[in-house]
Amino acid sequence: MKYQSLLPPSQDVTLRGQLFNQLHPDWQRVLGDLQSKIDSIEIALDECDVTPDFNNIFRALNSPIDSIKVVIFGQDPYPGIGAAQGLAFSTTEQSGKIPASLRNIFIELEKDLGSPLRTQLDLSDWSDQGVLLLNRILTTTVGSSLSHSRLGWEEITDQVAKTLGQRDVVAICWGKSAQQVSHYFQSQWLIESAHPSPLSAYRGFFGSKPFSKTNEILKKQGMQPISW
């Protein structure tokens, strides 16, 4: 695992700040106290061997905070080459294969809302409507899940969760990793269940109706529901 930078100190310094600058100014203010942590993660990354692509690592956090109505927490990016795109659970249409968790999400979506089975693998349309798709760990080594679990990403995504928990934002926490941040949200804004992975989907994810529940909460608050 390539956590230790092999660059000379002078080159290390030139890398600092590129990752932080990907953040929307709103999130730069929220995460300002953690900039040194973000810089240290940036130096530890091997850009040639990281997924998602370096320029998409903070893609989920390049929109204004006021635009966020819902947050869905994932675990870490898809490890396959070209699969992750910086939005939790979303993948590129060019990847050619639907990840098992995303397939189960679509099955639950179909059953929950009675809509046709979704085939669009890119979830950018959810993001465009104010759904923040945020992994707890924002990077991994290509071909290896959870290989960046010790880089310190959770400290950063904890702060994101804490900030959103102080606002009118619906939080969807699927699985144990996501549920580590559930305490930041008031119960009336929180939806929890098992993770949609094949190992746990039948233990409470299927039948949990997260999409209709989310829209019910939004409508009660006079907010526009999500077109899933």
- The set of catalytic residues is 76
Gyration radius from the chain CA atoms = 17
Task: Please tell me the distance from the alpha carbon of residue 85 to that of residue 54, in angstroms, as a whole number.
Answer: 10
Sheet containing 190-193: order of strands: 131-135, 70-74, 170-174, 190-193
DSSP letter assigned to residue 123: -
Task: Please tell me the distance from the alpha carbon of residue 126 to that of residue 7, in angstroms, as a whole number.
Answer: 39
Task: Please tell me the distance from the alpha carbon of residue 64 to that of residue 171, in angstroms, as a whole number.
Answer: 17
Question: How far from the centroid of its chain's Cα atoms is residue 97's Cα?
Answer: 20
**Before 52, cis peptide (omega within 30)?**
yes
